[in-house]
Structure 1
C-alpha cells in the first residue's frame, strides 16, 4: 500500500508535507505508511484517499480487504470502474450499541447502504437517517458522516461507495 500512496502522491506533484496537511494526518504517520512500517486506521485511509481524490481501494489495490474502523468492519467484495467513476461494493458490519464517525470523502462521493439485519442510523452527522432490515439509505459523503447500530442486534448491510474521477 505504501508504494501506491507514494505513486499517487508523486503523480500529483505533492510533497509528503503537503499531502499530510491536506489529509490532516501527521507527516510521520504518512511517511511510515509509505515506507510500509505503519498499519493505518480506516480513518487515516479515508483521509489520505480523500486528499488524493481517489477511492480507498486505489490505496489498497485489491478486493477482499478487511478494513476496521473504531466500530465498523468493512470487507471490499468488488471494485467496478465505469469510465471515470469507481464503485466499491462492500459488506458492512457494526456490533450492537456501537457507533463511528468517518471523515469526509472528496466532493461527489456518495454512499448507499442496504440493511439486512439490525437497525442502522447512518449518514451526515447533522442529518442521519435510520433503516432496519430491507431498508435503504443514501447520502453525499463529502461531509463527516457516521454509522450507529441501534438496538440489541448487530447491523449487517451492503455498502456501495460511488467515487467520481477527477
Structure 2
C-alpha cells in the first residue's frame, strides 16, 4: 500500500505544481519524510496522511486508491476504509475506526462543505469540532462540518469502535490517477 500512496501523493503534488518542500512545509511534514512516503519506503501514520490530504484538498480515500480494507493508524486510532463512492456528485467515504482508551486524536480541517457523521458501534466517544465536542453513547450518532479542527476520544477508560462517514462536496478536484 505504501507504494500506491506514494504514487498518488506525487501525482497530486505535481498536478498542483508544488515541490516536495512546498507540500512538506504547507502540511507540517518533514521534507525527508515526505520524500520517503512518495518513494514508498515509509509507511505514513494516519495523522500524516490526513495532513497531506487536507493540504492537497483531497479525501483520504483517494490517497488510499479507494481500496476497501486499506488501513492506517496513528497512536490511539486505527481507520479502515470500508467503502468510497460518488453519490449525487459528492465523494462519500466510510471508515471503521477503532479508538484506544486514553488517546485523543486531533484531525485538521478538511475543507469547506465537508461533513462527518459518526455512529458509535461500541463504547462511548467524545467527538466533534474542537471545543464543541459531544459525548456519544453506543448506538447514538453525531454530525459536524469538518472545516475546522476536530477530535475523537474513547471515554470511560475503554476502547471504542465507530463508523465514520465523510461527505466531500463535488468541488473537490481529483488529480489524474497514476
Scaled by the length of structure 2, the TM-score of the pair is 0.87
Measured in 1, the distance between the counterparts of 2:109 and 2:32 equals: 22
- Residue 33 of structure 1 aligns with which residue? 37
Please state whether the residue corresponding to 2:164 is helix, strand or coil: strand
How far residue 45 of structure 1 moved from its aligned partner, in angstroms, is 0.3
Contact 1:117 1:153 in 2 (8 A): no
Gaps of 5+ in 1: none
Q: Does 1:131 align with 2:136?
A: yes
Map of 2:47 onto structure 1: 43
Q: Secondary structure at 2:34's aligned position in 1?
A: helix
Between stretches 78-87 and 130-139, larger displacement belongs to 78-87
2:71 to 55, 66, 72: 66
Name 1:95's counterpart in structure 2.
Answer: 100
Q: How many matched pairs?
A: 166
Change in 2 beyond 3 A, CA 1:56/1:148: same
Task: State which drifts further: 90-99 or 70-79.
Answer: 90-99
Q: In the TM superposition, what is the alpha-carbon distance from 1:104 to its structure 2 partner? A: 2.1
CA distance in 1, matches of 2:160, 2:22: 38
Q: Is the 8 A contact 1:77 1:89 kept in 2?
A: yes
Partner of 1:82: 87
Q: Select between 98-107 and 84-93 the one with higher mean Cα deviation.
A: 98-107
1:160 aligns with 2:147: no
Separation in 2 of the partners of 1:54 and 1:127? 25
- Listed as ranges, the matches of 1:2-13 within 5 Å are 2-13=6-17
Deviation beyond 3 Å, 4+ runs, structure 1: none
Residue 76 of structure 1 aligns to a residue in which SS? strand
Deviations 1:18-73 (A, max 9, x none): 21122121111111111111111111100110111110111111121112122111
Q: Distance in 1 between matches of 2:118 and 2:76?
A: 16
